A and B are shown apart, each in its own frame.
Chain A
Amino acid sequence: MIIIDPIAKQVLLNDAIGAFPDECCGFLFGKEDSYGNRSITQVQVVVNAKKGDKRRRFAIAPLDYIRAEQFADEQQLQLLGIYHSHPNHPAIPSEHDRVAAQPFFSYVIVSVIDGKPHTLRSWRLNDQSQFEEENEVGSLRSEV
Chain B
Amino acid sequence: MATVIIPTPLRKFTNNTAKLEIQADTIEKTVSELTHNFPDLKKHLLDEKGQIRSFVNIFVGNDDIRNLQQEKTHVKPDTIISIVPAIAGGSR
Q: Which residues of A contact B (CB under 8 A)?
A: 23, 25, 50, 56-60, 62-63, 65-66, 69, 72-73, 78-80, 82, 84, 86-87, 89, 93-94, 96-97, 100-105, 107
Contact = CB atoms under 8 A, between A and B. Distances in A.
Contacts of A58: 88-90
B9 A69 contact: no
Contacts, number: 83
9 contacts: A23-B90, A25-B87, A50-B88, A60-B87, A66-B82, A78-B8, A93-B89, A96-B92, A105-B9
A94 B87 contact: no
Contacts of B91: 23, 56-57, 86-87, 89, 94
A97 B82 CA distance: 23
A96 B90 contact: yes
Q: Could you tell me the dominant secondary structure of chain B's interface residues?
A: mixed
Contact of A57 (B55, B59, B84, B88): B88
Contacts of A107: 89
Interface in B49-76: 55, 57, 59, 62, 64
A97 B90 contact: yes
Contact of A100 (B5, B7, B11, B88): B88
Q: Could you tell me the dominant secondary structure of chain A's interface residues?
A: mixed
A65 B90 contact: no
B42 to A, nearest CB: 14
A130 to B, nearest CB: 15
